[in-house]
Structure 1
Amino acid sequence: MRTFRWSPQWTIAVVVVTAVAAAVTIPLSLPDEPDATVSGLPDHAVPPSILETVRLSSPHGLDGLTATLDGEPLRLRREGAALRPEVVALPEGVHVLVVTPPPGTFGESEQTEITFRVDATPPRLDIRPVEPVERGEAGEIRGTASGAVRVSAAGEETRPAADGSFTLPVRAGAGTVTVVAHDEAGNATTEDVAVTLRHPGMKAVHLTASAWASSALREPVLDLVREGRIDTVQLDIKDETGQIGYASQVPLAQEIGATTELYDARAALDLLHEEGVHVVGRLVAFRDPILGRASWESGDDQRVIQTTGGSPWSGGYGDYSFTNFADPEVREYNIALAEEAAQLGFDDILYDYVRRPDGDVSAMVIPGLTTTPEEAIASFLAESRTAVHRHGAFQGASVYGIAASRPEQIAQDIPAMSEHVDYVAPMVYPSHWGPGEYGVADPERRPYDITARSLADFQRIARENGRTRVIPWLQAFSLGVEYGPGEIRAQIEAAADNGIDSFLLWNAGCRYDPRALPPT
Structure 2
Amino acid sequence: MRSQRKSRRTAVVVGAVVVVALAVVTPLTVRALSADPVVMGMEDGAVMTANAARDLAVTVPEGTNPDEVELLLDGKPVQAKADGNRLVLADADLAEGEHTLTARSPGSVPLLPDDEVSRRFTVDGTPPKLTVAADAVTDLRKPVEVRGTAEGASALTMDGKPVELAQDGRFAVTLPTAATVQFQARDAAGNIAEQKFTVDTRHPGMRAVHMSAAGWQSKGLREPVLAMAREGRIDTVQLDIKDESGEIGYKSNVPLAKEIGSTRDYYDAKAVTDELHKMGVRVVGRLVAFRDPIMARASWESGKKDRVIQTSGGTPWASSYGQYSFTNFAHPDVIAYNIGLAEEAASLGFDDILYDYIRRPEGALSSMKLPGLKGTPEDSIVDFVAKSRDAVRKHGAFLGVSVFGIAVTRPAPVAQDIPGMAKYADYIAPMVYPSHWGPGEYGVARPESQPYDITARSVGDFVKKVEGTGSEIIPWLQAFSLGVSYGPKEVRAQIDASKSVGAPSFLLWDPACRYNPAALDPKT
Which TM-score applies when normalising by structure 1? 0.75
C-alpha deviation, 1:450, in angstroms:
0.3
Alignment check: 8 A CA contact 1:399 1:412 kept: yes
| Paired residue secondary structure (1:233) | strand
Report the counterpart of residue 289 of structure 1 in structure 2.
293
Aligned counterpart for 2:507 among listed residues 497, 504, 508: 504
Residues 1:493 and 2:496 are matched in the alignment: yes
Task: For 1:508, give the aligned amino acid.
Answer: P
Aligned counterpart for 1:403 among listed residues 380, 383, 407: 407
Aligned counterpart for 2:180 among listed residues 174, 177, 198: 177
Task: For 1:331, give the aligned amino acid.
Answer: I
Task: For 1:483, give the aligned amino acid.
Answer: Y
Q: Distance in 1 between matches of 2:457 and 2:363?
A: 26
| Paired residue secondary structure (1:454) | helix
Aligned counterpart for 2:349 among listed residues 338, 341, 345: 345
Q: For the structure 1 residues 377 and 102, does the alpha-carbon distance in structure 2 shift closer, same or farther, using more than 3 Å as the test? A: farther
Q: Distance in 2 between matches of 1:204 and 1:132?
A: 23
Alignment check: 8 A CA contact 2:183 2:197 kept: no
Q: Distance in 1 between matches of 2:434 and 2:234?
A: 22
Task: For 1:463, give the aligned amino acid.
Answer: E
Q: For the structure 1 residues 362 and 30, does the alpha-carbon distance in structure 2 shift closer, same or farther, using more than 3 Å as the test? A: same
Alignment check: 8 A CA contact 1:207 1:235 kept: yes
Residues 1:227 and 2:231 are matched in the alignment: yes
Q: For the structure 1 residues 173 and 281, does the alpha-carbon distance in structure 2 shift closer, same or farther, using more than 3 Å as the test? A: farther
Alignment check: 8 A CA contact 1:65 1:102 kept: no
C-alpha deviation, 1:500, in angstroms:
2.2
What is the aligned-residue identity percentage?
A: 50
Report the counterpart of residue 49 of structure 2 in structure 1.
44
Deviations 1:136-170 (A, max 9, x none): 8989899xxxxx99986577799xxxxxxxx9989
Q: Distance in 2 between matches of 1:308 and 1:141?
A: 57
Report the counterpart of residue 251 of structure 1 in structure 2.
255
Q: For the structure 1 residues 156 and 358, does the alpha-carbon distance in structure 2 shift closer, same or farther, using more than 3 Å as the test? A: farther
Structural mapping, 1:67-466, within 5 Å: 71=81, 73-74=83-84, 132-134=136-138, 153=158, 174-180=177-183, 194-465=198-469
Alignment check: 8 A CA contact 2:460 2:502 kept: no
Alignment check: 8 A CA contact 1:212 1:263 kept: yes
| Paired residue secondary structure (2:321) | coil
Alignment check: 8 A CA contact 2:231 2:522 kept: yes
Q: Number of paired residues?
A: 458
C-alpha deviation, 1:317, in angstroms:
1.1
Q: For the structure 1 residues 347 and 365, does the alpha-carbon distance in structure 2 shift closer, same or farther, using more than 3 Å as the test? A: same
Q: Distance in 2 between matches of 1:513 and 1:67?
A: 96
Q: For the structure 1 residues 246 and 134, does the alpha-carbon distance in structure 2 shift closer, same or farther, using more than 3 Å as the test? A: closer
Report the counterpart of residue 13 of structure 2 in structure 1.
none
Alignment check: 8 A CA contact 1:65 1:99 kept: no
Alignment check: 8 A CA contact 1:278 1:347 kept: yes
Alignment check: 8 A CA contact 2:479 2:509 kept: yes
Moved more, 241-250 or 305-314: 305-314
| Paired residue secondary structure (1:175) | coil
Q: Distance in 2 between matches of 1:149 and 1:361?
A: 61
C-alpha deviation, 1:499, in angstroms:
2.8
Report the counterpart of residue 482 of structure 2 in structure 1.
479
Q: Distance in 1 between matches of 2:214 and 2:325?
A: 21
Residues 1:513 and 2:516 are matched in the alignment: yes
Q: Distance in 2 between matches of 1:354 and 1:244?
A: 17
C-alpha deviation, 1:228, in angstroms:
1.8
Q: Distance in 1 between matches of 2:80 and 2:312?
A: 70
Q: Distance in 1 between matches of 2:438 and 2:234?
A: 30
Q: For the structure 1 residues 139 and 430, does the alpha-carbon distance in structure 2 shift closer, same or farther, using more than 3 Å as the test? A: farther
Q: Distance in 2 between matches of 1:284 and 1:251?
A: 18
Alignment check: 8 A CA contact 1:134 1:172 kept: no
Residues 1:9 and 2:12 are matched in the alignment: no
Q: For the structure 1 residues 451 and 369, does the alpha-carbon distance in structure 2 shift closer, same or farther, using more than 3 Å as the test? A: same
Mind listing any 5+ residue stretches in structure 2 that lack a counterpart? 6-29, 68-78, 95-100
Structural mapping, 1:26-65, within 5 Å: 35-39=38-42, 43-46=48-51, 63-64=62-63
| Paired residue secondary structure (1:518) | coil
Report the counterpart of residue 162 of structure 1 in structure 2.
none
Q: Distance in 2 between matches of 1:210 and 1:478?
A: 21
Task: For 1:489, give the aligned amino acid.
Answer: R
| Paired residue secondary structure (2:325) | coil
Q: For the structure 1 residues 63 and 412, does the alpha-carbon distance in structure 2 shift closer, same or farther, using more than 3 Å as the test? A: same
Q: Distance in 2 between matches of 1:373 and 1:129?
A: 38
Q: Distance in 2 between matches of 1:141 and 1:420?
A: 26
| Paired residue secondary structure (2:402) | strand
Deviations 1:478-508 (A, max 9, x none): 1111111111111111112123221111011
Q: For the structure 1 residues 370 and 274, does the alpha-carbon distance in structure 2 shift closer, same or farther, using more than 3 Å as the test? A: same
Alignment check: 8 A CA contact 1:38 1:55 kept: no
Task: For 2:49, give the aligned amino acid.
Answer: H
Deviations 1:327-374 (A, max 9, x none): 222111111111111110011111111111111112212122212211
C-alpha deviation, 1:45, in angstroms:
4.3
| Paired residue secondary structure (2:41) | strand
Q: Distance in 2 between matches of 1:75 and 1:344?
A: 70
Task: For 1:377, give the aligned amino acid.
Answer: I
Q: Distance in 2 between matches of 1:153 and 1:189?
A: 12
Alignment check: 8 A CA contact 1:266 1:345 kept: yes
Q: For the structure 1 residues 113 and 131, does the alpha-carbon distance in structure 2 shift closer, same or farther, using more than 3 Å as the test? A: closer
